[in-house]
């Protein structure tokens, strides 16, 4: 489904948005959707070729920052670029992160110190850096703003058989805590914080699950909407645009599961 069919082409008109992790997977789809909704976007990603391809596709509405989200300077550069190019910052979507399985993440008894440290830096510390940079800019502008953090259903709805990366789950649960504490503290400044929590989505990070027949069988009943399928990045786009737009102006501190029914389904084996 194309983003133009999901929401108004003016839903984010004149909004300046930074998308951390905006050149690949969920973030690339969100960047396209936000531009389709009228936003001007600074997309942050590690792969310069992906960034260049996205800029060629979307043109002047997108600026690219190449860098690692686990480096605080990267998102600081992105926020500064948004202000320099577009005059202000209105919204942040933090989607950067990933699995630490290859680095030692796993069930608690097998989880290594290195896997724990790597996964927390990748998912939680990166979100801290981007959220801090955004809120500092919102306060400096005196304008309010909105932050959307990408969590996961695994942060509150675990799967003990197939998805046992416990450091990853811990980071996604912590993102909810950071988001809700921030939402409470900054509400009087007109700054909103919310979490999107997807279930299994077809991205480069989920290749292991996508190619496992047993997991695919599980997903058919665990994510029963639309035939029991793995999600697509575009399935999140409508929620991203809504949370970044004025249509959700009275919504803060919420966790919105975009999960095909994961959190309300048993997932029979």
- Rounded Cα distance between 231 and 24, Å, is 16
Sign of CA dihedral 155, 160, 162, 166: positive
Q: Which two tokens stand for residue 136?
A: 């500092």
What is the crossing angle of helices 126-141 and 72-86, to 10°?
30
Catalytic residue among 118, 129, 168, 186: 168
Q: Which two tokens stand for residue 103?
A: 């680095």
129 catalytic, yes or no?
Answer: no
Give the residue numbers annotated as catalytic, written as ranges.
Answer: 168
């Amino acid at each position: 489904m194309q983003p133009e069919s999901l929401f108004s082409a003016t839903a984010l008109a004149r909004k300046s948005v930074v998308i951390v992790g905006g050149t690949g997977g969920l973030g690339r789809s969100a960047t396209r959707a936000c531009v389709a909704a009228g936003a001007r976007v600074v997309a942050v990603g590690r792969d310069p070729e992906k960034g260049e391809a996205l800029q060629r596709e979307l043109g002047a509405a997108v600026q690219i920052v190449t860098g690692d989200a686990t480096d605080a300077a990267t998102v600081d550069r992105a926020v500064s670029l948004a202000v320099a190019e577009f005059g202000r910052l209105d919204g942040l979507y933090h989607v950067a992160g990933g699995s630490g399985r290859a680095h030692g993440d796993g069930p608690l008894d097998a989880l290594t110190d290195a896997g724990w440290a790597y996964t927390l830096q990748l998912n939680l510390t990166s979100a801290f850096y981007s959220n801090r940079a955004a809120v500092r800019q919102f306060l400096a502008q005196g304008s309010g703003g909105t932050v959307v953090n990408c969590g996961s259903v695994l942060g509150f709805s675990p799967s003990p058989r197939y998805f046992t990366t416990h450091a990853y789950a811990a980071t996604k649960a912590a993102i909810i805590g950071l988001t809700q504490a921030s939402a409470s503290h900054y509400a009087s400044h007109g700054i909103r914080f919310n979490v999107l929590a997807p279930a299994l989505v077809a991205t480069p990070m989920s290749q292991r699950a996508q190619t496992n027949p047993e997991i695919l069988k599980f997903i058919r009943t665990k994510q029963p909407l639309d035939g029991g399928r793995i999600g697509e990045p575009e399935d999140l786009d409508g929620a991203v645009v809504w949370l970044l737009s004025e249509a959700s102006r009275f919504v803060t501190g919420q966790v919105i599961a975009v999960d095909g029914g994961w959190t309300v389904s048993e997932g029979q084996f």
